[in-house]
Amino acid sequence: MKGSSRNETSSYLCQQCGYRSGKWMGFCPQCRNREALVETVVAAPRASGNVEVVSATAGRSTVRDRSAVGIGELDRVLGGGIVPGAAMLVGGEPGVGKSTLLLQVADSVAGDDGTVLIATAEESVHQVQMRARRVGVASPGVEIASVFDVDDIVAAASERRPRVLIVDSIQAVSSIDVGGSAGGTSQVRESAARLISFAKSSGIPLILVGHVTKDGSIAGPRTLEHMVDVVLYLEGESEQGLRFLR
């Protein structure tokens, strides 16, 4: 094991349920899975000298409330539009049209003079471009990147500064700092946490695509839905053109 710096400590994270322990054990005391604890490095708490604290009433005239998406039904569901820095989770069964809907959102939000970045971790850029043509995407500001590593997504969004960052899907994104494969409990939780932290600090709204399991819940840790600000479900029958967003 590499020596940790004075600002870092080691802990052991269960790859199945997310339980964290200060020491290694042969099995997880919470979910009882054997050999599930993997060592992770945790940054020590820092002094709050760099934290800016402001009054809740300061800057009311300059703070943007919401930005309309431009799709009437979606704006109504969102209470008038997207809040700067908000994290949204859009769930639905495979093939229900999540990616298609978000391409339409990207086209509307980007418009003639803005950009929206779509980080696709499941499809190639060419596949997304083909769908964009079928949907009728017209804005040149809809940008696509085929990327799987969460830090690469954050770096690209930091450089491009899009109006909205869309990640499709959170179950396909991973971090090299966490053990296990993409889609696992720890990977989904850590990747979502880093993306949400970036959205909050940058003010760039984040939309995560999430797949739904057979029991109707979004795949991944149960905490995922509690980590975001808004959870939307897209529903509909595959043989029907009607879709419901709730």
pLDDT of residue 1: 44
Name the pTM for this structure.
0.77
Intervals of CATH 3.40.50.300 along the chain: 72-245
Tokens coding 210: 């999430």
pLDDT of residue 76: 93
Tokens coding 11: 């802990």
Is residue 38 within 8 A of residue 179, CB to CB? The reply is yes
Intervals of the chain under pLDDT 70: 1-8, 42-49, 59-64, 216, 219-221, 237-242, 246
Dihedral sign for Cα atoms in the order 80, 193, 95, 163: positive
In terms of C-beta distances under 8 Å and separation of at least 24 residues, what long-range contacts does 32-40 make, across chains too? 37/12, 37/13, 38/12, 38/13, 38/14, 38/179, 38/180, 38/186, 39/1, 39/10, 39/11, 39/12, 39/13, 40/10, 40/11, 40/12, 40/13, 40/177, 40/178, 40/179
pLDDT by residue (tens digit) across 75-101? 999 999 999 999 999 998 888 889 999
Could you tell me the fold of the domain covering 72-245? Rossmann fold (3.40.50)
pLDDT of residue 86: 97
Secondary structure of residue 27 in the 3-state scheme? strand
